[in-house]
């Protein structure tokens, strides 16, 4: 299956920027399990070629997951407020936020605390292999991310075996909350950003940064601006107003500086600071 994607669109930047953790590049194709479906895809110019399974040719899934309805040109124009982010926009133009599954996103970012992008992917893979279902797509073998019920049924020791360490109890508690309907992640999509965030903050292991990541990467809160150690450094070093700012002040500055799409600004800045410090 092949669809034309709206420019700008860059699949590599979108899948390798560190917002999602289970994509693997094999022979020029990106493969992953997304929302219970296997996806294998590649970009050829302005086309996105893909396979999905077990539902074949699932265009709706692709359009939703890659946020193809976002007018990225208009969004980038709106956040292009200064030289620093302008440089990031020029270099990473086509990077799109994803609309991930909220449950997988929540667990992934609970795993992200004091970890690395590589290890998070390993953790989520181990969790999927232990608790998820087998999935085959065009000879690519993987596992779906487990349902909250599957994780809630498991024990904390099994999660520990996935090498998530001190995060295992946080994950298990979240699984029980979602499986029991005490926490309805999908309902947060319809609530105002601040209300949704306060609900997530009630759970152990979910702080300001992780809540913002879940809201931004899976629940359509483009006004969220997750502040991690990299973003903190980038903002303090490049914005006079943030020189001595704490995380709360950095979020407040970003919100008034970049406007309603500050979450997109965060992802472009994250890419720039990561690339420049890798050198």
Stretch that binds DNA, among 52-60, 82-90, 131-139, 227-235 (CB under 7 A): 227-235
Shortest spacing between CB 157 and DNA, in angstroms:
10
Residue 241 neighbours by CB under 8 Å, 6+ apart = 253, 257
The C-alpha atoms of residue 49 and residue 5 are separated, in whole angstroms, by: 10
17 binds DNA (CB under 7 A): yes
* Closest to DNA by CB, 120 or 151: 120
Shortest spacing between CB 138 and DNA, in angstroms:
27
Shortest spacing between CB 14 and DNA, in angstroms:
11
CB atoms within 10 A of CB 140: 19
Query: Considering only residues 26, 166, 237, 260, which one is a binding residue for DNA as defined by CB under 7 A?
Result: 166
Binding residue count for DNA, defined by CB under 7 A: 37
* Closest to DNA by CB, 115 or 133: 115
Query: Considering only residues 122, 133, 236, 238, which one is a binding residue for DNA as defined by CB under 7 A?
Result: 122
* Closest to DNA by CB, 193 or 203: 203
* Closest to DNA by CB, 122 or 238: 122
For residue 40, give both structure tokens.
């294998």
Query: Considering only residues 85, 205, 242, 268, which one is a binding residue for DNA as defined by CB under 7 A?
Result: 205
The C-alpha atoms of residue 145 and residue 127 are separated, in whole angstroms, by: 7
- Pairing label, strands 47-53, 2-4: antiparallel
* Closest to DNA by CB, 220 or 228: 228
- Pairing label, strands 29-34, 37-44: antiparallel
* Closest to DNA by CB, 20 or 137: 20
51 binds DNA (CB under 7 A): no
Residues in the chain: 279
116 binds DNA (CB under 7 A): yes
Residue of 180, 177, 162, 219 lying closest to 196 (CA atoms):
219
Residues 67-106, one symbol each (x = binds DNA by CB under 7 A, - = not), give ----------------------------------------
117 binds DNA (CB under 7 A): yes
Query: Please, what is the end-to-end C-alpha distance for the chain in angstroms?
Result: 38
Query: Considering only residues 60, 165, 186, 190, which one is a binding residue for DNA as defined by CB under 7 A?
Result: 165
- The C-alpha angle 161, 165, 169, rounded to 5 degrees, equals 90
Residue 78 neighbours by CB under 8 Å, 6+ apart = 258, 259, 260, 261
115 binds DNA (CB under 7 A): yes
CB of 239 within 8 A of CB of 211? no
Shortest spacing between CB 271 and DNA, in angstroms:
8
206 binds DNA (CB under 7 A): yes
119 binds DNA (CB under 7 A): yes
- Please name the residue ranges forming H helices in 93-201: 102-111, 117-131, 148-153, 156-160, 168-179, 185-188, 193-200
For residue 47, what are the β-bridge partners?
Answer: 4, 44
> Given the rule CB under 7 A, which residues bind DNA?
17-19, 112-120, 122, 160, 163-166, 203-211, 213, 226, 228-231, 246, 266-267, 270
């Amino acid at each position: 299956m092949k669809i034309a994607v709206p420019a700008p669109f860059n699949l590599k930047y979108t899948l390798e920027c560190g917002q999602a953790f289970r994509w693997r590049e094999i022979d020029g194709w990106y493969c992953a399990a997304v929302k219970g479906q296997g996806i294998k895809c590649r970009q050829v110019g302005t086309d996105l070629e893909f396979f999905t399974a077990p539902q074949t040719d699932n265009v709706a899934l692709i359009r939703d997951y890659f946020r193809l309805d976002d007018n990225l040109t208009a969004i980038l124009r709106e956040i292009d407020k200064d030289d620093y982010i302008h440089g990031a926009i020029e270099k990473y133009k086509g990077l799109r936020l994803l609309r991930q599954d909220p449950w997988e996103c929540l667990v992934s970012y609970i795993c992200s605390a004091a970890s690395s992008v590589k290890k998070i992917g390993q953790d989520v893979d181990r969790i999927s292999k232990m608790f998820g279902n087998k999935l085959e797509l065009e000879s690519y073998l993987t596992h779906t991310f487990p349902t909250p019920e599957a994780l809630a049924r498991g024990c904390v020791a099994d999660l520990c075996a996935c090498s998530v360490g001190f995060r295992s109890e946080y994950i298990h508690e979240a699984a029980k909350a979602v499986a029991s309907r005490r926490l309805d992640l999908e309902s947060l999509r319809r609530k105002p950003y601040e209300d949704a965030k306060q609900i997530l903050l009630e759970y152990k292991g979910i702080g300001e940064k992780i809540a913002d990541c879940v809201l931004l990467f899976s629940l359509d809160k483009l006004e969220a601006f997750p502040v991690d150690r990299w973003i903190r450094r980038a903002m303090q070093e490049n914005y006079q107003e943030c020189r001595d700012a704490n995380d709360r002040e950095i979020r407040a500055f970003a919100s008034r500086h970049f406007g309603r799409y500050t979450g997109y600004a965060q992802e472009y800045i994250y890419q720039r600071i990561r690339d420049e410090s890798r050198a």
